[in-house]
Homo-oligomer: A and B are copies of this chain.
């Protein structure tokens, strides 16, 4: 038998509104009556029924987080960041796995809306579709995390992969490598394009000519790394270093390099991108560009709560930089 405000009111001999005020620490309650009420609250272990509160205030203390797959290392790390901030603000998080499917996303949105969830964070790759934009244009609090939309009208937090790629390439150049091959993801992939952009920028800063032959496009997997290296090895002038667009590609490349009898980093330097656990397990430990996943979650959540509380938003678009982690697959700086 759960106890309600009404019960408490009867016991103390006051009205329900007074009980309500006392419980919510609102002014306008006499010292002694408040004490009496709070005493009974403890005694009977009274817990306000959140459902009733939610209905009365037409709001919940929950936010929604829509992402492709919580079991992925990347997304679960971001989710943790979101949750930590949410808890601080007294909110809980509902995580929705969309598997990147638009249909799922829309049905989640419906659910979240009709449950009066306070706001939504959209996390994931891919471009944003019209419906999401429309949703954002209404007054529903919504933040885009690591999702891209051409005009960027919605509040967003993104990771600047171009800068990360530039840093990685720059490190290789600073370490003395000159001919640097880029083994990248699919040509039409946004992430891959950003990485290419950063790579080119770094070359330009060193006045090194960009050579199409040093660019390999493939999938985001190990095979691409392995085959990719064999590919560039065939060039009349083989590369001195490999920039792999993610860690798995790097792993594949390293296998191929070792297989060929080359030494890392002496003969060939390697840089990865992502900083997963494998980078520290592989031999030699991989120099890589670490993505600020947790921070992505934290920033997105902060931005969402700014929206919910209708605070001023400093920057509509927040850009996070990735961080270079130097290990042993690149030569020491001179």
- State the A residues within 8 Å of B (CB): 47-52, 54-55, 58, 60, 62, 69-73, 76-77, 79-80, 83-84, 87, 92-97, 110-111, 113-116, 251, 255, 276-278, 281-283, 294
4 cross-chain pairs, A with B, having the tightest CB-CB distances, nearest first:
A76-B76, A71-B80, A50-B115, A47-B114
Shortest C-beta distance, A192 to chain B (Å), equals 22
CA distance A47 to B116 in the complex (A): 11
Supplied contacts A50-B115, A51-B58, A76-B79, 18 more A-B pairs, CB within 8 Å: A47-B113, A47-B114, A48-B114, A49-B114, A50-B114, A51-B51, A51-B60, A52-B55, A70-B70, A70-B76, A71-B79, A73-B73, A73-B76, A79-B95, A251-B281, A255-B283, A282-B282, A283-B283
Q: Which residues of B contact A80 (CB under 8 A)?
A: 69-71, 97
Whether the pair A79, B70 counts as a contact (CB closer than 8 A) is: yes
In chain B, what residue has the closest Cβ to A48?
B114
In chain B, what residue has the closest Cβ to A95?
B95
Whether the pair A94, B92 counts as a contact (CB closer than 8 A) is: yes
Tell me how many chains of this kind the complex includes. Answer: 2
Shortest C-beta distance, A60 to chain B (Å), equals 7
CA distance A87 to B87 in the complex (A): 24
Q: Which residues of B contact A71 (CB under 8 A)?
A: 76-77, 79-80, 294
Whether the pair B55, A51 counts as a contact (CB closer than 8 A) is: yes
Q: Which residues of B contact A115 (CB under 8 A)?
A: 50-51
Whether the pair B95, A93 counts as a contact (CB closer than 8 A) is: yes
CA distance A49 to B95 in the complex (A): 20
In chain B, what residue has the closest Cβ to A57?
B51
